[in-house]
Amino acid sequence: MTLRSLIAGTGGYLPDTVLDNDALAERYGLDTSDAWIQERTGIRQRHLAAPGQMASDLGAFAAREALEQAGIDAGAVDGIIVATATPDAVFPSTAARLQAKLGITQGFAFDVAAACTGFVYALSVADAMIRAGQARCVLVVGAEVFSRLMDWTDRGTCVLFGDGAGAVLLRAAEAAEAGDRGVLSCHLHADGRHGDILQVEGTPGLLRMAGRDVFRHAVSKLAAVVDEALAANNLSTSDVAWLVPHQANLRIIDAMGRKLGLPAERVVVAVDRHANTSAASIPLALAEAARDGRINRGDLVLMEAIGGGLTWGAALARF
């Protein structure tokens, strides 16, 4: 029996507190402006978690929406995989805490740490488990509270990030039911030699980034992994209905859209309103585009991301 992972539901959540660029500069006394930030990143605002609000709290909102959209009861979930660089604690895992908040008492729960590429990594693991018959219904969640990693005196990094969560519910379907729908393939890479250009260091841990180096690696590595994903499925760029990229920087997003030959209206952009929510950014953008009717059944969606590690990857799925 051949199984495939169908995307049964999506969900997203953003904390209530919204901080636009001017308010950010004023709050932290930064020598920057809305015009400066938008010109370099495309970001207008970001959402910040409330004091005491953890990654599992954000993830619970997103997961419940994905379950509701799929029409599937939490009791049917076989497992939860959470991609996060900002876990609630060293242990128990954020996934285990999320499991408890959803009232689920069966199955597995664990975290994946691959920074901004975390969702693609987690999606790949869930898809492999479903194809192997180890699970039939898996919640894949990206949840981040990056505001807790920020050095608010560093205008080069603190303006880039925000908090949020996104979720995808995968369910197993036999080939006859799935047809050409579902997760087609995932492609994962890492190169630890470049780990120092994007990392969390010190006590307390604060994010440090060599922006120019990250941008250079992003453009080349994302282009290569996109080609790899398309070639593996005998597809071309013209087959892609939607690009749902990691929402790191509008310049990188635009560069990937041009590389694929996709018009701007076929690229899902949320970075202007969400900022970079790391592992949450792809599922957040995916949920938004599915909710507002842009992504429809049968659409081929390409997802790609690069993050600290360095890690990078791409996934192709047909809704």
Residues annotated as catalytic (active site), given as ranges: 116, 246, 276
Element housing 99 (H / E): helix 94-101
Q: Nearest-CA neighbor of 228 among 185, 263, 180, 281?
A: 185
Task: Please tell me whether residue 301 adopts helix, strand or coil conformation.
Answer: strand
CA separation for the pair 13, 111 (Å, rounded)? 19
CA separation for the pair 111, 124 (Å, rounded)? 13
Residue type, 221: K
CA separation for the pair 267, 168 (Å, rounded)? 19
Position of tokens 């809305």? 34
Cis, peptide link before residue 283, omega less than 30° from 0: no
